Structure 1
Amino acid sequence: MARLRRHCEGQRRRLDQALALLQALPAAVIGTDREGVVRFLNERGEAMSGFAAADADGRGIAALLAVYQDGVAVDAGEQMRDCLLREAVTEAARGAVLLRRGDNKRIDIQYSCAPMEDGAVMLLHDVSARRGAEARLEFIAHHDTLTGLPNRLHFQLRFEHGIAYAKRHRCLLALLFLDIDRFKGINDSLGHDVGDQVLVEFARRVQQCVRKVDTVARQGGDEFIVLLTELRTAEDGERVAEKIARALAAPFIIGEYSLAVAASVGVAIYPDDDDDIDALLEKADLAMYAAKRRARGTSLRYAAGMQTQSYSHALLETDLRSALELEQFVLHYQPRLDLKEQRVTGVKALMRWKHPQLGLVMPLDFLPILEESALILPVGAWVMASAVAQARRWIELGQPLTVSINLSARQFYQTDIARNFGAILEAAGVAGSCIELEIAAGILIDRNQNCEAILRQFKQLGMRISIGDFGSGEAPLHYLKRFPADVVKIEKSFIDDLRRHDGGSLEQGAMVRAIVAMAHTLKMRVVAGGVETADQLAQLVAMECDEAFGFYLSRAVAPAEIEGLIKRSQDWLGLSWNV
């Protein structure tokens, strides 16, 4: 009798241990009889099914579990019976989902069934966290982490699907290539945090211009690509490109800054322009660069001539690396007219590149490449030395002129920039007052850099400081007072809007007058660039602007022609000076 008692107690302990083990398992355990009626449910099973063990006992397993496989309902009882019939363990394929009774909470599961002597047991693992992590990794692999847009890999897949659809339904696709104009200047002057926010807002605006069936992706850096599907005409794609360009024209409000951001857009059409994905992307890229050369912030459809006219970015950069050593750079000078004295008192130095194959290349086509690389530093030093040497020659000819030179952000923040400029001036025997450094307003509002200290070093050399493109939205008016500047150069768009018969001229004229008045109050001179008509010149004279330059007065010319313009000073008297 005692022996039987000990045997029963041992069996009970083993049963308790088995039950404790089942409760401790990191899975839901559901035991059924051979008819699929629930006889056991552990605590995880209670949590996943939404039933207490007592309530589940005696129910069919199909009533306990609402399981779906790839969106199709699965009969759990049928699964258990199939397991018993086969007398083998069965496992569900990936993608199974359980909807918990009571609150319909979705739980991603992986389950298996195993036959037993008097029934079967089902194990369900909650894999929601794992599948969520997999989904996040999948998203990261196919999307840009900053903007959340598809990346190039994902775009390639969408492009392939789009072409397959276009072939079946005989419709068109449009590929748009977008590049943010002068984005590097924003990064250099305001920092990468502001630049990142510009990219996010840029992506948002572009997405608002397209349909759900279209795709906007980030190509990399400040380049984006857009796939427009199910188009009936090529003009449909061109209209969307124009719509995007307009949407980007409104100022970007990033914190305390109001930034003027624009993008050049190239358009290529499938299958009209090409039926190969890579070739179509290349042609949209060519069209974008053609748009940028024509007028920044505009869009342009690919044309066959662009293939031969365009010289690739990579080849230009390669050629630029040897251009300085081969003495292919030259400086031309655009005369600046003193509007009170009606004579040339200064010039603006503008670089040209005598390319052996392309001929005379304008700055718009190569300066961005220089500024993206460290090449701008040695080339910038050459510009300074050449301009100072030319200033020296004009002094010797008895025609002293103030030479204005542009400084990029990379140059401005170069270590020992003021000391290097001082050495150039000293070697040439030229006073610093003969040189005016033009620095974009956006560069001077970077609070992470000691801009004022750098400007004061230039001032100690006697150089004049000009704040360029003032009024562009990147710098508030109080910056005029903050920095030790001598000259304000008005943003060209304000000059463009000075039209006598334009309905908006009064408002724009008021802006120019306000800048002139404020600058004069602070004892600063005002320069207007981009003067192209007699009407603009007359209005600037009436507003008491100090200096002007532009095509109406003269294009940029070689140094010898500047000397001729000075000698023919009477030519300036024939210009229209009155409103």
Structure 2
Amino acid sequence: MLDDAHCIKYMNEAASKIFGKLLLGCAFELLLKESRDADKLSDFLAKTQHAMDLTMVTVTGEDLPVLITKWNSAAGPMILVYPKTGATPAAQLWQANQYDPLTGLPNRDLLRDRIDQFLKLGKRQQLASPFAVLCLDLDGFKPINDTYGHKVGDHVLQIIAQRLKSSVRESDTVSRVGGDEFVCFMTNLHDIEDSRVVASRILDEVLKPVIVDGHVLAVSTSIGVALWPSDAESVDQLLRFADMAMYTVKQRGKNGVGFFNSKMNELARKRAEMESDLREALRRGQFVLHYQPQFCLHTGRIRGVEALIRWNHPERGMVPPSDFIRVAEESNMIHQIGDWVLVEATRQARQWLNMGLNIKVAVNISARQFVDTLPARVEEILTNFKLPASMLELELTESVLVSDYARTARLLEEIRDMGVHTSLDDFGTGFSSLNYLSSFPLRTLKIDRSFVGPTLAHFQPKMIRAILAIAKEFNLSTLAEGVENQEQMDALREMGCDYMQGFHLARPMPPVALHAFIADFNEQLSESLVT
């Protein structure tokens, strides 16, 4: 920081190491290599220009090309000095420690340092101009990375990084803090609308098509914004609150901007409680499985059941998966929960078999379970319970299948070779591709409930016929989810759909109730299926 005479009155630790602590009280111009740059510096400090290039001299006498930016505070100009890439050994060391090697953007450490310096100055000088932290997470990047490989993914990140830099002022900081996560730190704002304008500009820039190796790719971004001093007073708070706001945008549907508010703190507290309760549920065995029957639309027989998890919470009662699966996925507990479901469903199928009930059980497999060890784990569980492999079916979503074609094909072939069937869940709602229908050993396409609709008025016959035609072409059976009434069931049968499940014939039920349901089914319900 400089005084009115442009003498140095404050240096942070990084500046002291590069230029020497003894310069405190000296004119800033003494650090310039060229004396003629002093006039340019004076003009820079006097005008509204935000950044300029200079060559400075380090404490060891090395020339150091830099970019300097300023902040005209009430206490005098604050100068930020950014050494340029590879200029000197000192700059090279700075670059290696403070910048992301892929994008050339400041890394998390440098970002935190810059925010911290501004916060200290802002508090010391009681400044009124707000700062903004924008937390960005790319939407749709993972499928690109998984489908086209890391080389293409890296190129996309480099292009997006340049777009972000072009969307902000040169004096602002754009940082890459994770795989597809970026943070923009903006200072000298007039008001909250400045950050809103920049966030909107970023949304537009990121949405533009990205062309890499002939592939026209599309990504978007979710942006969360936190402000100083209205929202937070520390680096950790600013980053955490901006992150909360970003995840709120994700939950609303992505590709948007959200500003932090105090209610998000309460949501974060509830989420932390949910994570703690989930870990307790795993330890105390609070999860249970309910089973929803699946019916053949042509014979009237029960095809099998789908295992659906429930959480028997000691205070909240029976909690549906929609209330906790997202938290389980984001907190990395989904693998443990998913493995428990696989073990429990297999154990129950063996118990039914011992009772004379030959019931195939379908189990949902999460992306975190779909790893190289999955086939061996499935085989181990089947062996432990002595259950025939044909009585187990694994349901996978489209997002799981697009992760790595060669690896996915290998895992599915190993699963098929042991006699376990696989089905594709929610077909038509994700990254639908005819390529993986022909490449992967699938047995069944499950038609998503969104095409069946809650009533006949929402029934989508064109989409359903298209899916049925695709399935027939690839010799796959079809199962419609979410069938709520007789009219939907009749229409699906007439179209040639093979199987169905839904509340019209049976809701998910505990094992004991399912046993009683099956015992009564042939007498009470088969006639309605075949008439």
Which TM-score bucket, shorter chain as reference? 0.5 to 0.7
Instruction: Check if 1:268 corresponds to 2:234.
Output: no
**Alpha-carbon contact 2:145-2:153 (below 8 Å) kept:** yes
Query: Root-mean-square deviation (CA), in Å?
Result: 5.4
Note closer, same or farther for the CA distance 1:347–1:187 as it changes in structure 2 (3 Å cut).
Answer: farther
**Alpha-carbon contact 2:85-2:95 (below 8 Å) kept:** no
2-side partners of 1:548 and 1:252: how far apart?
Answer: 41
Cross-structure match for 1:367: 329
**Alpha-carbon contact 1:418-1:458 (below 8 Å) kept:** yes
Note closer, same or farther for the CA distance 1:258–1:489 as it changes in structure 2 (3 Å cut).
Answer: farther
Cross-structure match for 1:71: 37
Structure exhibiting the larger radius of gyration computed from Cα positions: 1
Instruction: Check if 1:432 corresponds to 2:389.
Output: yes
Mean CA deviation greater in 446-455 or 359-368: 446-455
Report the alpha carbon displacement of residue 153 of structure 1 after superposing the two structures with TM. 3.0
**Alpha-carbon contact 2:274-2:327 (below 8 Å) kept:** no
**Alpha-carbon contact 1:464-1:486 (below 8 Å) kept:** yes
* Pick aligned residue for 1:152 from 102, 108, 111: 108
2-side partners of 1:542 and 1:235: how far apart?
Answer: 57
2-side partners of 1:214 and 1:158: how far apart?
Answer: 10
Cross-structure match for 1:457: 414
1-side partners of 2:105 and 2:363: how far apart?
Answer: 40
**Alpha-carbon contact 1:143-1:154 (below 8 Å) kept:** yes
Cross-structure match for 2:466: 514
* Pick aligned residue for 1:388 from 346, 357, 371: 346
* Pick aligned residue for 2:178 from 215, 220, 244: 220
Note closer, same or farther for the CA distance 1:464–1:129 as it changes in structure 2 (3 Å cut).
Answer: closer
Question: How many residue pairs end up in the alignment?
Answer: 454
1-side partners of 2:445 and 2:206: how far apart?
Answer: 27
Note closer, same or farther for the CA distance 1:253–1:68 as it changes in structure 2 (3 Å cut).
Answer: closer
Note closer, same or farther for the CA distance 1:154–1:520 as it changes in structure 2 (3 Å cut).
Answer: same
Note closer, same or farther for the CA distance 1:272–1:464 as it changes in structure 2 (3 Å cut).
Answer: same
**Alpha-carbon contact 1:349-1:403 (below 8 Å) kept:** yes
Any idea what SS the aligned residue of 2:102 has?
A: coil
**Alpha-carbon contact 1:175-1:269 (below 8 Å) kept:** yes
Any idea what SS the aligned residue of 1:131 has?
A: coil
**Alpha-carbon contact 2:397-2:425 (below 8 Å) kept:** yes
Note closer, same or farther for the CA distance 1:252–1:320 as it changes in structure 2 (3 Å cut).
Answer: farther
**Alpha-carbon contact 1:388-1:425 (below 8 Å) kept:** yes
**Alpha-carbon contact 2:111-2:175 (below 8 Å) kept:** yes
Report the alpha carbon displacement of residue 172 of structure 1 after superposing the two structures with TM. 4.2
1-side partners of 2:453 and 2:211: how far apart?
Answer: 24
Note closer, same or farther for the CA distance 1:213–1:448 as it changes in structure 2 (3 Å cut).
Answer: same
Note closer, same or farther for the CA distance 1:339–1:419 as it changes in structure 2 (3 Å cut).
Answer: same
1:272-351 to structure 2, matched below 5 A, reads 272-293=230-251, 295=253, 300-311=258-269, 324-333=282-291, 336=294, 345-351=303-309
Unaligned ranges ≥5, structure 1:
1-66, 75-91, 96-106, 110-127
The amino acid of 1:435's aligned partner reads L
1-side partners of 2:476 and 2:436: how far apart?
Answer: 13
Cross-structure match for 1:525: 477
Q: TM-score, normalised by structure 1?
A: 0.59
1-side partners of 2:456 and 2:195: how far apart?
Answer: 33
Any idea what SS the aligned residue of 1:287 has?
A: helix
Cross-structure match for 1:16: none
Report the alpha carbon displacement of residue 362 of structure 1 after superposing the two structures with TM. 1.2
**Alpha-carbon contact 2:115-2:235 (below 8 Å) kept:** yes
2-side partners of 1:454 and 1:466: how far apart?
Answer: 14
Mean CA deviation greater in 268-277 or 258-267: 258-267
2-side partners of 1:556 and 1:390: how far apart?
Answer: 15
Report the alpha carbon displacement of residue 327 of structure 1 after superposing the two structures with TM. 2.1
2-side partners of 1:366 and 1:281: how far apart?
Answer: 23
**Alpha-carbon contact 2:455-2:484 (below 8 Å) kept:** no
Note closer, same or farther for the CA distance 1:135–1:491 as it changes in structure 2 (3 Å cut).
Answer: farther
Report the alpha carbon displacement of residue 485 of structure 1 after superposing the two structures with TM. 1.1
Report the alpha carbon displacement of residue 487 of structure 1 after superposing the two structures with TM. 1.4
**Alpha-carbon contact 1:402-1:434 (below 8 Å) kept:** yes
1-side partners of 2:203 and 2:526: how far apart?
Answer: 39
* Pick aligned residue for 2:443 from 486, 490, 504: 486
1-side partners of 2:247 and 2:498: how far apart?
Answer: 36
**Alpha-carbon contact 1:352-1:362 (below 8 Å) kept:** no
Cross-structure match for 2:18: none
Report the alpha carbon displacement of residue 530 of structure 1 after superposing the two structures with TM. 7.0
Instruction: Check if 1:407 corresponds to 2:407.
Output: no
1-side partners of 2:294 and 2:220: how far apart?
Answer: 29
2-side partners of 1:406 and 1:445: how far apart?
Answer: 17
**Alpha-carbon contact 1:288-1:300 (below 8 Å) kept:** yes
Mean CA deviation greater in 158-167 or 438-447: 158-167
**Alpha-carbon contact 2:131-2:188 (below 8 Å) kept:** yes
1-side partners of 2:453 and 2:218: how far apart?
Answer: 16
**Alpha-carbon contact 1:331-1:383 (below 8 Å) kept:** yes
Mean CA deviation greater in 266-275 or 187-196: 187-196
Mean CA deviation greater in 431-440 or 195-204: 195-204
Deviations 1:176-203 (A, max 9, x none): 3334568777767776445544544554
Q: TM-score, normalised by structure 2?
A: 0.64
1-side partners of 2:453 and 2:205: how far apart?
Answer: 21
Deviations 1:378-410 (A, max 9, x none): 544322110112234455677654432233455
Mean CA deviation greater in 186-195 or 212-221: 186-195
Report the alpha carbon displacement of residue 474 of structure 1 after superposing the two structures with TM. 4.6
Cross-structure match for 1:64: none
Cross-structure match for 1:79: none
Deviations 1:239-262 (A, max 9, x none): 765776687678877668887866
Any idea what SS the aligned residue of 1:310 has?
A: helix
**Alpha-carbon contact 1:385-1:424 (below 8 Å) kept:** yes
Note closer, same or farther for the CA distance 1:245–1:68 as it changes in structure 2 (3 Å cut).
Answer: closer
Mean CA deviation greater in 141-150 or 291-300: 291-300
2-side partners of 1:531 and 1:442: how far apart?
Answer: 24
Instruction: Check if 1:131 corresponds to 2:87.
Output: yes
2-side partners of 1:262 and 1:551: how far apart?
Answer: 37
Note closer, same or farther for the CA distance 1:239–1:132 as it changes in structure 2 (3 Å cut).
Answer: same
Note closer, same or farther for the CA distance 1:138–1:426 as it changes in structure 2 (3 Å cut).
Answer: closer
**Alpha-carbon contact 1:489-1:527 (below 8 Å) kept:** yes
Note closer, same or farther for the CA distance 1:237–1:483 as it changes in structure 2 (3 Å cut).
Answer: same
The amino acid of 2:259's aligned partner reads R
Mean CA deviation greater in 173-182 or 248-257: 248-257
Note closer, same or farther for the CA distance 1:546–1:272 as it changes in structure 2 (3 Å cut).
Answer: farther
Any idea what SS the aligned residue of 2:34 has?
A: strand
